[in-house]
Chains A and B, each alone.
Chain A
């Protein structure tokens, strides 16, 4: 047997976070089956420990950056940033879910395992340098998402959410795979760097139709996963029906990973044809912002409103993708990190407020929150202000850097229209604030469940982080600009 059959220790180190998480996930499944029910609280601690170890491994792996497994994976700054981001999101999501699961009487063991496997998938998505690996990572993450969306399967809303997500998601994956097949047929390789070299060297005008069709097919798949228009229709239904902590997780972690993969494929492999795909991403970004913001204006359900808000924010990140510059990549990284924190925090408040069986999901149920639960109301205020993009919050600098990158790339109209859009967005976020502080609580609501310690930690932690990023944006921006290095 030749020595090359065994991957080297160096490669194993670069792949360590995924290995740790997979082992921990399998271990959790076994423990879940054999442990006495009263000890199952420890499973959460184990999941958190595994995630923390993976976080450390991701940081350590960057000490020795480079490709692994025949260049199927590449550990560069970009990959490390998003690895840390998705693992961090998962830690907050685990902390923010336990109270909810206990309240609904759900079995938490498999939930933690699904979260861990989902992170394995996301981590593969952001480190892959090759279309087959990207596809497998995406599928791992997606299947975990489908199941998580329907985790409380006795709740009809959960089942609806999971089924819709599954059917539409599989369809979108089909498009992506078809695009991959065409690219392979055209260039004879699935390695992103080689695709780039092939596209740069060939006379593009001869095979433009085919390249265009392949790019378009892959764009459909990616746009679906990041909920960019016109493939955003699933998001409101899925986020509304899924359990609140799952909606928080889905709109932060998997979405950031999907954007990372989108950026990597389009900015490295398809860079030679950038002037052809830029108008499409331009239009998609604009439509996504408009659809998200204007549809959110009319929502009365908080979770549905947050879903449309998440579509609108995907639109802002699409603006960064349209710039396809280093500045744009940095801005997207900053934005996705800031948005993930804000979003997890806002959903932490929602998770606590909806009550058992998610009965209080209307905006009017938030009436009088300022008096009933001053802490939650104050934190939600910070998150909403950050989502609007008010100065001194992370959201402000996120938008600022994105539109700055867009101006640098001479996307002037997109910038103007994007800014107008964020003005529209202020209306529906402020409406929640008005209801919270100015309206008297109706007679429906007296569900004030005490917020557990873990949830409070998520809430306060992400609020503080949002403010810190907003006050000292250079902390995160320096990291983003140092790590915005795509290995080629």
Chain B
């Protein structure tokens, strides 16, 4: 049953991801991204990472994507124009894609041989208590330093976007 859920939501995530790239209208792409985020949250939940799953839903699928959609609508971005694409890049791109997929599946096959299978439900350390504990003890520094990262992103946005004064 768990495996079925896993396969179903993994397939949804991949399908939404592909749709995100091939759609021409930004809103459709943004909605597909919400689909990717949502199905990822289910995958996290299946693996026992409850807290991450909730954060994924609330922060990514909720807050960030709402902002995305707002911005797209406020900018009134239309569908991108279909232009005649040059075919030459495909000559390089298509074989590279095949090679990449081949190598990736080779590696996965390689790994599956000697690693323990994932048992759904065996991992129970994904609650808010455990996350909070490791965030404020072991990983205190990255947690605090990330605030500098966000601060500088805000500063940058302000520098680049404010009105002339």
Contact = CB atoms under 8 A, between A and B. Distances in A.
A162 B138 CA distance: 36
B100 to A, nearest CB: 10
Interface in B66-116: 103-104, 106-107, 110-111, 114
B155 interface: yes
Given A114-B159, A209-B106, A213-B103, A144 B140 contact: no
Which residue, of B111, B136, B137, B155, has the highest number of chain A Cβ atoms within 10 A? B155
A120 B146 CA distance: 12
Interface stretch (A145-153, A192-200, A274-282, A467-475): A145-153
Contacts of B138: 70
* B contact residues, range: 20 to 34
Nearest to B108: A210
Contact of A132 (B142, B148, B156, B159): B142
B137 to A, nearest CB: 6
B159 A72 contact: no
B113 to A, nearest CB: 8
B149 A73 contact: no
A140 B107 CA distance: 32
B111 A139 contact: no
B145 A147 contact: no
B152 A140 contact: yes
A113 interface: yes
Interface in A174-216: 206-207, 209-210, 213
Contacts of A72: 139, 141-142
A133 B142 contact: yes
Given A114-B155, A210-B111, A147 B160 contact: yes
Interface string B123-165: 0000000000000111111100110110111011011100010
A146 B141 contact: no
Given A114-B156, A136-B146, A144-B152, A209 B107 contact: yes
A213 B106 CA distance: 11
A202 B111 CA distance: 14
A146 B156 contact: yes
Where chain B touches its partner, the secondary structure class is helix
Contacts of B160: 147, 150, 153, 162
A22 interface: yes
A391 interface: no
A151 B158 CA distance: 11
Which residue, of A5, A140, A206, has the highest number of chain B Cβ atoms within 10 A? A140
Contacts of A154: 164
Which residue, of B136, B139, B142, has the highest number of chain A Cβ atoms within 10 A? B142
Nearest to B158: A110
Nearest to B106: A209
Nearest to A203: B114
B95 to A, nearest CB: 17
Contact of A133 (B145, B155, B158, B164): B145
Contacts of A151: 159
Interface string A434-448: 000000000000000
A102 interface: no
Given A121-B148, A136-B149, A140-B145, 8 more contacts: A4-B137, A5-B137, A70-B138, A117-B148, A132-B142, A143-B153, A209-B106, A210-B110
27 contacts: A5-B137, A5-B140, A7-B140, A15-B141, A68-B141, A73-B141, A110-B158, A113-B155, A114-B152, A117-B148, A117-B151, A117-B152, A121-B152, A124-B145, A137-B145, A140-B148, A143-B152, A147-B155, A147-B160, A154-B164, A206-B114, A207-B110, A207-B114, A209-B103, A209-B106, A209-B110, A210-B107
